[in-house]
């Protein structure tokens, strides 16, 4: 007997307290239970940032009435500065994201010692969650490290998405000051492309760790 349910992205098959994805990577039910909230938070953060980009574009459109090149423009030097600053943020977002999920970084992360007590500690209250601690202690070492990796991945993707959001913020400022809606469009397109590209793919990351 086995059951199917959605695990992270595609379906997962459970048999004898083990979970297999469509590539045959085995995930224990305990690990699946622990990482589900982390994966949910990753996707919520991604959705918030993506919707905020759409909000910036929509707000500028209605605030400026769709005006295109009707207002007084800002200086050429200031425009170049904003474009360079936005480009730097976009590049930093891409570089940081790629570095955080690179094979070398993953190998380095998985080879370091793991402190399960620190991992079970609530970052806000600084108290150890005894329930999580018991579950972590019951996991094989690699599963506990995968749980730790999901926490790290959440931090990495949050930083990358925040850098991505700075692109649209700079574009919004330029568009608003210039009273020109069209100026936000290149920033919006770049931000949306980056967000779609950085959609959390936790299962793919877990599969890569198993194949390292």
Q: Which pLDDT tens digit goes with each residue over 118-158? A: 777 777 777 877 888 888 888 888 888 898 899 899 999 99
Domain boundaries, the chain: 30-211
- How do residues 74-99 score in pLDDT, each as one tens digit? 777 888 999 999 999 999 999 999 99
Least Cα distance to 179 among 60, 86, 55, 79 occurs for: 60
Residue with tokens 């085995």: 26
Least Cα distance to 194 among 155, 172, 163 occurs for: 163
Pairing of strands 26-28, 3-6: unpaired
- How do residues 41-53 score in pLDDT, each as one tens digit? 999 999 999 999 9
Residue with tokens 């959001």: 165
Is the pLDDT at 169 greater than 90? The verdict is: yes
Contact predicate 78/72, CB 8 Å:
no
Pairing of strands 18-20, 26-28: antiparallel
From residue 13, give the alpha-carbon distance in Å to each of 26, 31, 135, 139. 9, 14, 21, 19
Q: Give the pLDDT confidence score for residue 95 in this predicted structure.
A: 96
Dist CA 60 CA 143 (whole Å): 46
Secondary structure of 122-144 as H, E, C letters: CCCCCCECHHHHHHHHCCCHHHH
Least Cα distance to 137 among 123, 150, 120 occurs for: 120
Report residue 148 as tokens.
């730790």
DSSP state letters, 25-74: -EEEHHHHHHHHHHHHHHHHHHHHHHHHHHHHHHHHHHHTTT--S-SPPP
């Amino acid at each position: 007997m086995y059951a199917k349910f959605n695990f992270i992205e595609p379906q997962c098959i459970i048999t004898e307290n083990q979970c297999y994805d469509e590539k045959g990577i085995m995930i224990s039910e305990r690990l699946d239970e622990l990482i589900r909230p982390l994966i949910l938070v990753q996707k919520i953060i991604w959705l918030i940032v993506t919707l905020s980009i759409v909000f910036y574009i929509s707000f500028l459109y209605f605030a400026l009435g769709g005006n295109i090149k009707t207002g007084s423009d800002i200086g050429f030097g200031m425009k170049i500065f904003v474009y360079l600053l936005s480009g730097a943020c976009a590049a930093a977002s891409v570089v940081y994201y790629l570095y955080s999920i690179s094979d070398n970084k993953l190998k380095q992360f998985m080879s370091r010692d793991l402190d399960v007590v620190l991992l079970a500690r609530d970052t806000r209250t600084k108290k150890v969650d005894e329930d999580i601690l018991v579950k972590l202690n019951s996991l094989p070492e690699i599963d506990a490290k995968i749980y730790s990796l999901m926490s790290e991945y959440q931090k990495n993707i949050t930083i990358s998405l925040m850098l991505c959001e700075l692109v649209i913020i700079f574009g919004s400022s330029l568009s608003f000051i210039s009273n020109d809606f069209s100026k936000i469009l290149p920033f919006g397109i770049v931000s949306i492309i980056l967000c779609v590209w950085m959609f959390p793919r936790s299962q793919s990351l877990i599969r890569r760790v198993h194949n390292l």
